[in-house]
Structure 1
Amino acid sequence: MSQWKQIQQLDIKFLEQVDYFYDDNFPMELRQVLANWIESQDWETASNHESMATVLFNNFLIQLERQCSQEQNFLHRHNLKRIFHQIQVKYKTNPLHMAAVICNCLREERRILSTASMQEQGPLEKSMQNSATLEKLKVLDNKVAVIRSSVQMLDQGVKYLEDMQDDFDFRYKTLQLRDPVERNSLTMKQEVTTLQEILNRLDFKRKEILSKIADVIKEIDTLISSQLNPELKEWKRRQQIACIGGPVLIGLDQLQNWFTLTAQSLFQIKRQLDKLGELILKVTYETFMCLKQPCMPTHPQKPLIIKTQVQFTTKVRLLVKLPEVDYQLKVKTTFDKDLPPGKVNRQFFILTNNTKVMDVEESTGCLSVEFRHLGPLSVTEELHSLNFEAMLMLQGLDIDLETCSLPLVVISNVSQLPGGWASVMWYNLLTDDPKNLGFFSNPLRASWSQLSEVLSWQFSSFAGRGLNKEQLNMLGDKLLGQHASYNDCQVSWSKFWKENIPGKSFSFWLWLDSILDLIKKHLLPVWIDGYIMGFVSKEMERALLKEKEPGTFLLRFSESHLGGITFTWVEQDENGEPKFISVEPYTKNRLNALPIADIIRDYKVIADGVVPENPLKFLYPDIPKDEAFGKHYNSQQNKGLISANVSDF
């Protein structure tokens, strides 16, 4: 079954996550009509090779044009033609970007499929889901609706007051035109008394409306401070978790709706107060936020890392949608505006204009702006921040808006990516303070229950399949030593990234990241199928194989090499006892020449006087080798002998 068909069969909560990352950059309509063709292309490689990206871009346009000509439905054909022209204009000069966007979408789909297939959720994912329960949404919807209704009622009250005022003005002016000789008449005295009564009612009604306005403003203040701002803070926390591989972000459009309705109510109250000759208004800049965190197009799965001299993008969004604001808001961006005391200002600068006008996004209707070209800069091991400022002038008010990105890491060479990503993960896992740029001066510890969930997300996000409980237990053994229970164990930043594994020349994260890179570039289909056990100790490996048929084998990642995979099979010695044979790990250099499936198919053991044969018969526990790997074989079998040094790796 194709990946797209699997996606369409997911529950609604997962379909909402899919809907989040399909936008104007790559509309979901294209994913639907070109599903099979898209999945058959190597977007991963194309995203790093311009010539291949250009070829795929041109082929993409040919496929889409063909689909347009075959579409019978007039409206669908019209929409496809419109999208065709948008894509052509958007990516004509930057096909690499399109390849990266599609590659990212396919990765996110695989991650969601992996998440949907997992029976258990970790504490972080559960907390992310519990923060946006259906009941809370209903309560907020109702509260915003009640405030809107109250403001509409106030409008009616102000209108009634205006009518009373007009009636008073008419009576008063009419009375002023009467003959002065009649002023002492009984009729005149009665009319004056009536005018006084109207004036008293006007005064009472004004005070009544002002009191109701004060009550509504108090309700709005409570709504913003106790519900909307905390909900936005929780969304930003979910954004942090999503940055490091967690559940895909949803719910921002709903937040925008709440903030917009609330802002509309406030400005409506302002107009009411203007009519009453007073002004009471409260405005929050929390509705101005960083939607897309800084990210290099070549590494969409690793946001918040930027490289010197390399373009990256970031996007800010205003969560209040008012027609009179559209196309007027200018945003200025600066680096490290609020550095901690004693920090030296880094030499960041923007290569183009650092002030841009926000545009209305066609797909969402929201106001947003992207900054793209930034750098060069000096490099240290500190966290940095990108600030955004704007001035909103509306209905006679000057409202200062300000927000900032999450702390980001700067590198000067791609070899620093593992360390940069380790910093991004650790920070976003353990704190939600966006201005804590001194976090790593005294980094917090992480519990294993937190860290293990994030590690599983890395494999789900980067490689389309998360880690099961047994694999995570093995990683816990490697990082913490053998424990009956890991959940309460605390892991330091130094142990995770800086300290070498005992007896090795590399740290735990560097070892794990090299495995992720190996899977991503050379083992992805086999990993997604679940045929790589991967994380299993030598002791457990032998325990699993010793009772199996001779020729049963399993694949695991090397513990002695960075980015290596080996396989071990079981045979019987002369006494009928199990004998375990492992091969020298295959690294990316060796896998560049031959895929792992072909290595398994064509593997031979060379022995004196014996015809070479393939000792690999069954993938653990008992799957025939060709049944497991057959669909990944190349059509042409290798005629040479594929062998490796047999040892204990």
Structure 2
Amino acid sequence: MAMWIQAQQLQGEALHQMQALYGQHFPIEVRHYLAQWIECQLWDSVELDNPVEEAKAKRLLDNLVSELQRKAQLQGGEDGFLLKIKLGHYANQLKSTYDRCPLELVRCIKHILHSEQRLVQEATNASSGGGGQAMDSLSQRHQQINQSFEELRLATQETENELRKLQHSQEYFIIQYQENMRIQAQLSSLSTLPPAERTQRETALQSKRTTVETWLTREASTLQKYRLDLSEQHQKTLTLLRKQQTLILDEELIQWKRRQQLAGNGGPHEGGLDVLQSWCEKLADLIWQNRQQIRRCEHLTQQLPLPGPMEELLSKLNSDITDIISALVTSTFIIEKQPPQVLKTQTKFAATVRLLVGGKLNVHMNPPQVKAVIVSEQQAKALLKNESTHSESSGEILNNNCVMEYHQATGTLSAHFRNMSLKRIKRSDRRGAESVTEEKFTVLFESQFSVGGNELVFHVKDNNATATVLWDNAFAEPGRVPFIVPDKVMWPQLCEALDMKYKAEMHSGRGLSEDNMVFLAQKAFTSSSNNPEDFRNVSISWAQFNRESLPGRNFTFWQWFDGVVELMKKHLKPHWNDGAILGFVNKQQAQDMLLSKPNGTFLLRFSDSEIGGITIAWVAENPNKQGERLVWNLLPYTTKDFSIRSLADRISDLNHLLFLYPDRPKDEVFAKYYTPPLSKAVDGYVKPQIKQVVPEFTTPKSEPSGGTPSFMDQTASPSVSHPSSFGVYPSMSDTMLDAEGDFDLEDTMDVARHVEELLRRPMANQWSSQQS
């Protein structure tokens, strides 16, 4: 009961958090009137993931219900009548709710008691700090995180208020714009009136139109400024979100995982996961609110396009916020309860996987499935070579699929593998003094989540395990303490490991050249040096290799390299072995190389911005400026694109591609991989054909008589990247009035064109000077 007495003394945010622990799943009145009894029970002795413990949990439930009924019967007198009815109702409610799942009651109460203990401890530390003693580092970190959340909440509320103001201003602007169109229509209809009356009405209407247009011109500039200011505020909020997320995921969550590792060696129980979940849920809530605000801004911009960079700014904001939420979802898929460190065949074992943001993002509305696969140390090289973890298993686990369940009482989304059993294991051939106990295995978990009604889909696959295996195999010292590897290695050592892997995947002697290694060094160290000697004595850490994201990206160096390997292995291996793919070339290098070659020369390079992507760059005339030559880049192709149409066939389709860099005719290189022409119609049916088309470089031509019709591949067709232009709109139709003489606002592009014309009047120069 001592804990409950202290919990009742909490104030402010801590009190709100304590109250939020209770609800219909477990009423706060039950906690209050049975406080002493609840705190005396051995809730922690029940193993939640062990079905055998259900009988123990059932006894605790029955005893709780009996104690509550006894407490109800003790209530007497007029004042106790209502309490007697209420406690009796709660007894029946708890019985019906948890009778079939008593372990959930234990889970609920354990969560409540641990949360109360944490809140009381934090309040105690804070009060002792106020008495002149410095708070410990844990309390300081927690206080810093909570303060940052308050800043983010206020910033998000401020952008919400500004967004509403912008929406109201824009709606009123459109109403006034419609009024201006009505005045214009009335002026057009004056020709049917007598001259005297026409002159009088025309003067009044012209004066009114001048007033409205002056207001529209001024308000259009104001709307532009509102939009730009709001985008700047969102950018600041995103910066704060990234900083907070880095603190929680890269520091607090990593420390929890480290404590979990030490617990496996006999260290203290890791704990603190509920605190991490509460932080991650707050992050998810704030990120999602900001994402929705940015999308509403996009809608307003589409509703009323105005000249200016808003479309590009909002696209960047949307991309950034999606990267942030992607990192949050994929990083908070954790193993809450690790499998045992010693596995035996025909012996049951358990594990629990948890998504810390699952409840907040409503992932449970479409419950994801999680699969467990076992991988051995002896299969490390096979793990690196095979297509996916589906074929990388070194044994068979029974009951290795589990659907994630949402526990309303605790707000957790988790998958409990309660009855996994190692049916069989593939042992390696042992030599010398090696024993079976020296073999090491790991259980990998993977799943796929959808967020926002399938608006965003995340596939969680632990390719980081592949990086771990590569690093471990390459750099572990002979006779090492198990699993101990250096945190840093010399760059040439890593190059050797990457080259070995690349050769193995390509099944050829063509590995990574010195130029390729320089490219990778530039990417890993964010360097512009082209001299390989500059990297001879440089070390690279594990964090640089596969923990820290590359600048401006949401993936690590290893994830980018592994994506390249997967793409090459699945679709482009012959072209690499033929020397047709340069690959490891950045955008600027490709431009410098191509501009010295004839028009139509092209090369293939790996995408910097997308994992597992490859793009075609080529040199051609600028269609908008005679005599100027530009290097063009297609949007990157991925595995999905090549499953529809091969690289060779896509290159064959593009007639403007003539020579593979430096000067090889494309047919000489790729013709042997072209798909043979389609046969003639069979049984009266003509088979359609997919063709790659780039509209800017397509010359219209008629199909020959009797030819096979072709259909453009819409889903996989890339577009040419070129500078965006603003203030360009289609020609205006003859009239903007419908049959009733009213303005039709559905064609917002026409509205935008009129607004742009307004802005070019008196205030056009002012807007230009503001932008400069």
Q: TM-score, normalised by structure 1?
A: 0.47
Q: TM-score, normalised by structure 2?
A: 0.41
Higher relative contact order (CA 8 A, sep 6+): 1
